[in-house]
Chains A and B, each alone.
Chain A
Amino acid sequence: MSKQYEFKASILPYLLVLPQMVIVFVFFFWPAGQAVLQSFYLQDPFGGKMIFVGFQNYSKLLADPDYWQSFSVSTAFAVCITLGAMAISLFLAIQANKKIRFASFYKTMLIWPYAVSTLVAGVIWLFMFNPNVGVIAYVLKHTFHVDWQYLLNFNQAFLLLTLAATWKQLAYNFVFFLAGLQSVPATLIEAAEIDGAKSGTRFWKIIFPLLSPTTFYLLVMNLVYGFFETFPIVHSITQGAPGKSTAILVYKVWRDGVINLDLGSSAAQSVILMLLVIMLTVFQFRFIERRVTY
């Protein structure tokens, strides 16, 4: 490789990265460090004295059945969203990728919901399924005689949260699957067709393997979404009800910190969540072989 031309200046590059670095340190590294530090202390909520307690915040957390309940609900939630949203989006992307009329109309109609925020998704589904005013709730109660009270019934609450979160994620997955499908060379498919491969075979033996980088990327992104970005849905629909059963990890961190002012425990939970994100990110870069090299 020939030597790349580079500007010679001693101060300018530092001035250029300065704004980014200041914000990284003030709003990312400093708070993250504080979270780690705070997780080893007990602090009274009114900013009083801090007492070093070692790993006590962690051991208390790990011995708390509520925390494990939150952990397993979050996992189940993230897995259900991931599987549901990916399967539906892949199916729709395959249909939209066929040579059919109105294809670009269909694509636009399925892509725009990307702009709908997670909170709005929560509010829309809450409105449809509200036991007092919701239209779907009404149908469930009066036509199907379901005792629809999602604030009292865990299964119903979980189902409603999953539906709202999955609905919101469809467009995101659709964009990526469509782009992935479009990069599968048409000649490959034609060759297989000439060789007599049926459409099922063509999909599973050719398209799906070629799509695996997209699928893998989406798998990680959907899990991240399910774990970390669904706070607005829980906050608007169930607020953790019934009881604390749908308080997913990010909701619990927020409630323990902001509402219950249990700073030590909230910090310990933050640190555990950070480890979780780091694991997911490392996992992604490891397996996708799309390493960031410099």
Chain B
Amino acid sequence: MTEQQKIDRTAHRAKAIRRMFPHIMLWIGIVIILFPIYFIFSASSHTSAEIQAAPMPLNIGPHLIENYRQALFKGTQNMGTPVLTMLKNSLIMALGISVGKIVISLMAAFAIVFFKFPLRNFCFWSIFITLMLPVEVRIMPTYKVVADLGLLNTYAGLILPMIVSATAVFLFRQFFMSIPREIAEASQIDGATPMQFFRYILAPMTRTPIAAMFVIQFIYGWNQYLWPLLITTKPEFYTLLIGINRMMSGADVQIEWQIAMATTLLAMLPPVIVVVLMQKQFIAGMTETEK
């Protein structure tokens, strides 16, 4: 081998390593993300005894279907609400929050952009300020308001305090402001009422931002934890996340890990499906609200 060939070879190898580098790093990242999820999947396929006898086997065991059936229809010893019930509750809460936010934000943004009225600025800033008041910082008094209204253990109680969205109002407002006003004027000349303009012209034009908002707010709604923890005390109103917490409470030996982990996986599925199916809208929504 000549000196030149050696140099060529080293250069070639360096180039190959450089080319592989991003792939290797990205795979490490993916493994870091997937590894923990594989653990819980594996756990959901074993018996309680196998898990308690640590270390649990890392293969996929034969009890997968049995465990998921128990989770879906029965629940655990210490938490008798089946996943199906909680799935329904989580779905109602997530859809209620996301659809509710979109509807009232569209209406508010429509009023703020297309109408001139004395309290316009006041309304806009009132909505803006809610950004600074997350649930976490007004826990007790909000709880009291909801209790006084008789909304503990109701879907309305789960949904209503969550459906104000400064983010959604901003996004729609921004989008509306980019629409040429001649369209609104033309619709008036053609004899349409403002509400007809809203319903038949504006809302269809806003389809893309609405889809983006839906993905983000559905995930937000689905993943609510502190608020349902406060106001749902009756098992028939538990959401999935609250159910998981209840399954995991108690001494380690009493926990039916396999069922709790099956429930955890099931709780992940709906929002993950939404993100994967609507990835484009999701990314657009995420990055556009920040402009």
Interface residues of A (CB under 8 A from B): 4-7, 9-10, 12-14, 16-17, 19-21, 23-32, 34-35, 38, 88, 91-92, 95-96, 98, 100, 102, 106, 108-120, 123-128, 130, 132-135, 137-139, 167, 170-171, 175-176, 179, 217, 228-229, 231-232, 235-236, 250, 253-254, 257-258, 263, 266-267, 270, 273-274, 277-278, 281, 290, 292, 294
Contact = CB atoms under 8 A, between A and B. Distances in A.
Contacts of B121: 294
A281 B115 contact: no
B27 to A, nearest CB: 8
Given A16-B108, A92-B26, A112-B272, A126 B145 contact: no
A214 to B, nearest CB: 9
5 contacts: A28-B164, A120-B241, A123-B248, A175-B283, A270-B140
B223 A119 contact: yes
Given A9-B194, A115-B272, 8 more contacts: A4-B181, A5-B182, A17-B112, A19-B107, A106-B26, A119-B225, A124-B40, A138-B54
Nearest to A258: B230
Determine the main DSSP class of A at the interface with B. Answer: helix
Nearest to A261: B140
Contacts of B25: 91-92, 95
A134 to B, nearest CB: 7
B139 interface: yes
B131 interface: yes
Interface string B178-195: 000110110010000011
Contacts of A231: 136, 225-226
A212 B66 CA distance: 51
Contact of B279 (A100, A108, A266): A108
Given A110-B33, A116-B272, A167-B32, A274 B160 contact: no
A212 B110 CA distance: 33
Determine the main DSSP class of B at the interface with A. Answer: helix
A14 to B, nearest CB: 7
Contacts of A120: 241, 244, 264, 267-268
B140 A266 contact: yes
Interface in B234-291: 241, 244-245, 248, 252-253, 257, 260-261, 264, 267-268, 271-272, 274-276, 279, 282-283, 286-287, 290-291
B141 A34 contact: yes
Nearest to B134: A228
B6 interface: no
Contact of A16 (B110, B143, B230): B110
Contacts of A38: 140-141
B140 A257 contact: yes
Interface in B157-182: 160-161, 163-164, 169-170, 181-182
B184 A111 contact: no
Nearest to A239: B249
Contacts of B272: 112, 115-116
A34 B22 CA distance: 53
Interface in B88-129: 104-105, 107-108, 110-112, 114-117, 119-121, 123-124, 126-129
Nearest to B37: A124
A56 B72 CA distance: 51
Contacts of B208: none
Contacts of B139: 253-254, 257-258, 266, 270
Contacts of A26: 145, 149
A10 B117 CA distance: 7
Nearest to A276: B137
A24 B164 contact: yes
Nearest to A29: B126
Given A17-B107, A231-B226, A127 B257 contact: yes
B40 A127 contact: yes
A27 B145 contact: yes
